[in-house]
């Protein structure tokens, strides 16, 4: 019954390797995204990295909607895990845009799939939505999911409109032309990063900052844009993994470095333990972060530690008729305010853009409806409409070039996000 | 003082690893199986302690009530974790006790994933947060000061570990545990109730992990369904570094891992031309682990493994 010593050693090594592999999976940080190289999922890559957008090689399919059947729109968002607080309102906002809408007598239904804000989740949700026969997709929410799933959607000829992916790489993939089937409503980190850097040096008058970032496409991308634009001194720049809880070592380094402000690039799930440990260790310097943290959950969970935190959103302070319609509609439908969580207005707009384009291209064919996804893509690319966040018109890469003053700032005061004016 | 602070950080996170690692090592010592669901036992303890703190008034708890509340939370966590461990042992491990070694291992991984998902479902996937009842501030002399929470966490862990050693060395049940661990068949012939002893082992390991969950909650402060996974893997690593099956080994391994993630990384940063920010902590911890195992495959205190083999 007893095993030889060598066998015991070998099996230990195996169990250990399993443990390490599991850790790597759990951490879920993909180096591909970090460096911005495209994620190889075995798909046709357009020859040569030209600036023009090439159509997918396999062409666009035509989807037939049967008599009396609804038109299916996919939503790729975060439905499980700690970030669902971010993902579910985004899905609800998109669904609101399609409520009671009919196109040639066909209603619109939404198919929600969980992308878990990860690369793996993004591709799995993409596959499910493609199999479900959706005509277009609102999402994915997170840049990591966007970057991983773009090749799949491109090959299937299905256009995606992300309300919230802010990474520069989403519309400027390394080593190839931008994807023809990707658009986003929000403004990218090449705008938000410099705005944050300017806010740090001018409004917070911080000559030295310490940077803490989440090791994924969003966290790293925003951090890079911030550091590129920041004119002061970056005393240190440290990353963390998904689900990190112990920030004591970073906090001690911050205590030692004595920065004028701390910039946090990531999501609220890790911002909560970080800011709690920072404040409880007696550090009072300003805390600056962006859209990933500007969620009600951050205030609910961090409580007193969240007070005085500065947060940005890559959107103007919202107003206007469409926004009011959306806001009242959202409150009536879901019983809560739309602005407690970021990117709901963007998601409403993404769905509206998609629906407006569907109305243009849907062709009645007897009792059925034919939707040419190529025409749909072109109609989306040519959209020019006023949404809840302002004018929406895409440039050739798929970025929204319609807006004017895209970054707004907030401060946490008495447990509320209060717009912060200079 | 920078180095002292980093040392304390290492001890804090090391204490949590050590408390969880003890559960791995106790169960391995007695059953030669890796209880991969042990990280979830830690998570269950954290949630039980959180629930009790909320019941007792949440953030309104103060003064002498605080001591009562903390004790109640830790006891509730120990009970909830122990109860879960007993159920898991009964349902998922006992029937597989004489099965090939891989069977209970796979069963344990299954239990772990199932519990994580049940917890995510019950919490709606949202984090919960421990009420910030523990006084903030520092104790100590000048530069050598420690935050109250960290001091409390490290102190409680040491007390529990001393208690565990006394329990194993000085009590009848402890002696039975040692006997079953040395040779289950012979112990059984000598009149030791093997099933009962195994259940006791699960209870003791789970109680330590449950209290560790509360201690971490008081410190971190958010808890979630998946919170047991990474500490579970790390604690398992700590147990292996220390020499799995060895009680002092699990303690030493926990502190070793905690310190190498913090002080170890900062020490490497002192070398000319080296810059290893925080994202390297797992790389460093696990590389050290590989080195330790190459130099000393049985772990730091692991003589017993080779003797048994």
Annotated domain spans of chain B: 10-228
Question: If pLDDT is split at 50, 70 and 90, which confidence band does B126 have?
Answer: confident
> B221, B242, B253, B266: best mutation site toward chain A, by most A Cβ within 10 Å?
B221
pLDDT at A187: 86
Question: If pLDDT is split at 50, 70 and 90, which confidence band does A404 have?
Answer: low
Closest CA of chain B from A183, distance in Å: 29
pLDDT at A4: 53
Name the closest residue on chain B to residue A210, using Cα atoms.
Answer: B277
Q: Do A115 and A76 touch, CB atoms closer than 8 A?
A: yes
Residue A22, pLDDT > 70, answer no
Q: Is A405 on the interface with B (CB under 8 A)?
A: no
Residue B275, pLDDT > 80, answer yes
Question: If pLDDT is split at 50, 70 and 90, which confidence band does A55 have?
Answer: low
pLDDT at A316: 79
Q: What's the pTM?
A: 0.84
Measure CB to CB from residue A2 to each of B9, B290, B309 and give the nearest one: B309
DSSP-derived secondary structure letter, A394: B
Report, as an integer, the average pLDDT of B25-36: 92
pLDDT at A26: 45
Q: Is B25 on the interface with A (CB under 8 A)?
A: no
Closest CA of chain B from A9, distance in Å: 7
Measure CB to CB from residue B9 to each of A20, A215, A252 and give the nearest one: A252
The string of pLDDT tens digits covering residues A170-195 is 999 988 999 999 999 998 888 899 99
Residues 248-287 of B with CB under 8 A from A: 261-262, 265-266, 277-279, 281-282, 286
Residue A340, pLDDT > 80, answer yes
Question: If pLDDT is split at 50, 70 and 90, which confidence band does B144 have?
Answer: confident
DSSP code per residue over A271-339:
HHHHHHHHHHTT--S-EEE-TTT-SHHHHHHHGGGGTT-EEEESSPPP-SHHHHHHHHHHHHHHSS-GG
Q: Report all structural domains of chain A as residue ranges with CATH numbers, in order of start.
A: 62-188+319-393 (3.40.50.2300), 190-313 (3.40.50.2300)
Q: Is B79 on the interface with A (CB under 8 A)?
A: no
pLDDT at A38: 35
pLDDT at B304: 47
pLDDT at A9: 61
Instruction: Provide the ipTM.
Output: 0.90
Under an 8 A CB cutoff, do B277 and A252 touch? Answer: no
Q: Is A35 on the interface with B (CB under 8 A)?
A: no
pLDDT at A413: 96
pLDDT at B282: 87
Coil, helix or strand for A220? helix
Residues 271-310 of A with CB under 8 A from B: 272-273, 276-277, 280-282, 297, 300-305
Q: b/e map of A11-30 (b: 16 or more CB within 10 Å)?
A: ebeebbeebbebbeebbbbb
Question: If pLDDT is split at 50, 70 and 90, which confidence band does B287 have?
Answer: confident
Name the closest residue on chain B to residue A9, using Cα atoms.
Answer: B297
Q: What percent of chain A has pLDDT over 70?
A: 86
More confident residue, A27 or A204: A204
Contacts of B236 in chain A (CB under 8 A): 19
Coil, helix or strand for B199? helix
pLDDT at B305: 43
Report, as an integer, the average pLDDT of A376-384: 95
pLDDT at A15: 64
Closest CA of chain B from A393, distance in Å: 36
Number of A/B CB contacts below 8 angstroms equals 132
Contacts of A20 in chain B (CB under 8 A): 286
Question: If pLDDT is split at 50, 70 and 90, which confidence band does A17 have?
Answer: low
pLDDT at A33: 36
The string of pLDDT tens digits covering residues A204-248 is 999 999 999 999 889 999 999 999 999 999 999 999 998 889 999
Residue B168, pLDDT > 90, answer yes
Instruction: Kindly report the average pLDDT of chain B as a whole number.
Output: 92
| CB atoms closer than 10 angstroms to residue A404 | 7
> B24, B25, B213, B230: best mutation site toward chain A, by most A Cβ within 10 Å?
B230
Report, as an integer, the average pLDDT of B74-97: 96
pLDDT at A175: 87
Question: If pLDDT is split at 50, 70 and 90, which confidence band does A299 have?
Answer: very high
Residue with tokens 């090791």: A215
Rg of chain B, C-alpha, whole Å? 19
Residue B306, pLDDT > 50, answer no
pLDDT at A246: 92
């Amino acid at each position: 019954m007893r095993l030889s010593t060598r066998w015991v050693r070998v099996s230990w090594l195996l169990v250990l390797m399993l443990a390490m592999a599991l850790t790597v999976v759990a951490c879920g940080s993909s180096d591909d995204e970090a460096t911005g190289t495209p994620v190889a999922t075995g798909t046709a890559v357009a020859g040569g990295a030209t600036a023009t957008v090439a159509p997918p090689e396999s062409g666009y399919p035509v989807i037939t909607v049967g008599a009396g059947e609804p038109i299916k729109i996919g939503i790729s968002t975060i439905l499980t895990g700690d970030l669902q607080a971010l993902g579910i309102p985004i899905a609800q906002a998109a669904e609101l845009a399609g409520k009671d809408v009919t196109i040639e007598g066909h209603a619109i239904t939404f198919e929600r799939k969980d992308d878990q804000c990860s690369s793996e989740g993004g591709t799995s949700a993409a596959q499910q939505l493609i199999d479900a026969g959706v005509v277009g997709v609102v999402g994915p929410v997170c840049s990591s999911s966007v970057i991983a799933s773009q090749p799949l959607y491109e090959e299937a000829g299905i256009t995606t409109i992300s309300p919230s992916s802010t990474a520069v790489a989403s519309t400027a993939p390394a080593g190839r032309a931008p994807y023809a089937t990707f658009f986003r409503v929000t403004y990218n980190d090449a705008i938000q990063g410099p705005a944050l850097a300017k806010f740090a040096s001018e409004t917070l008058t911080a000559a030295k900052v310490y940077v803490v970032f989440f090791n994924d496409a969003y966290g790293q991308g925003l951090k890079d844009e911030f550091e590129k634009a920041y004119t002061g001194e970056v005393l240190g720049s440290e990353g963390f993994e998904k689900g990190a809880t112990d920030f004591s070592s970073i906090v001690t380094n911050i205590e030692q470095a004595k920065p004028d402000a701390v910039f946090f690039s990531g999501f609220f799930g890790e911002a909560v333990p970080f800011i709690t440990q920072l404040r409880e260790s007696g550090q009072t310097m300003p805390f600056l972060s962006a859209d990933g943290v500007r969620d009600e959950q951050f205030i609910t969970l961090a409580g007193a530690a969240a007070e005085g935190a500065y947060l940005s959103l890559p959107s103007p302070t919202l107003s206007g008729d469409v926004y009011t319609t959306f806001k009242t509609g959202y409150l009536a439908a879901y019983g809560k305010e739309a602005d407690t969580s970021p990117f709901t207005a963007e998601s409403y707009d993404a769905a509206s853009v998609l629906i407006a384009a569907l109305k243009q291209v849907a062709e009645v064919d007897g009792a059925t409806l034919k939707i040419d996804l190529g025409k749909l893509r072109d109609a989306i690319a040519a959209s020019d409409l006023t949404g809840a966040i302002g004018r929406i018109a895409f440039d050739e890469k798929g970025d929204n070039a319609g807006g004017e003053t895209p970054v707004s700032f907030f401060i946490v005061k008495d447990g509320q996000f209060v717009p912060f004016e200079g | 003082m920078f180095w002292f602070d980093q040392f304390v950080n290492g001890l804090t996170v090391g204490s949590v690893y050590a408390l969880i690692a003890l559960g791995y090592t106790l169960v391995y010592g007695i059953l030669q199986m890796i209880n991969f669901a042990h990280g979830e036992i830690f998570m269950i303890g954290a949630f039980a302690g959180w629930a009790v703190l909320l019941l007792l008034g949440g953030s309104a708890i103060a003064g002498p009530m605080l001591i009562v509340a903390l004790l109640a939370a830790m006891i509730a966590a120990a009970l909830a974790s122990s109860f879960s461990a007993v159920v898991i042992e009964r349902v998922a491990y006992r029937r597989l006790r004489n099965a090939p070694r891989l069977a209970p291992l796979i069963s344990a991984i299954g239990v772990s994933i199932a519990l994580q998902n049940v917890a995510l479902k019950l919490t709606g996937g949202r984090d919960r947060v421990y009420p910030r009842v523990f006084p903030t501030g520092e104790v100590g002399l000048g530069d050598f000061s420690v935050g109250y929470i960290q001091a409390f966490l490290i102190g409680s862990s040491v007390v529990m570990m001393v208690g565990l050693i006394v329990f194993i060395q000085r009590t009848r049940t402890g002696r039975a545990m040692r006997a079953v661990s040395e040779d289950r068949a012979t112990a059984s012939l000598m009149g030791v109730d093997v099933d009962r002893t195994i259940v006791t082992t699960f209870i003791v390991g789970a109680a330590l992990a449950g209290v560790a969950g509360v201690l971490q909650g008081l410190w971190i402060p958010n808890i979630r369904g998946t919170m047991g996974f990474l500490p579970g893997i790390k604690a398992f690593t700590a147990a292996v570094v220390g020499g799995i099956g060895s009680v002092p080994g699990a303690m030493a391994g926990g502190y070793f891992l905690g310190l190498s993630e913090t002080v170890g990384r900062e020490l490497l940063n002192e070398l000319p031309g080296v810059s290893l920010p925080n994202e390297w902590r797992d790389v460093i911890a696990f590389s050290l682990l590989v080195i330790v195992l190459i130099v000393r495959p049985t772990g730091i205190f692991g003589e017993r493994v080779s003797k048994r083999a």
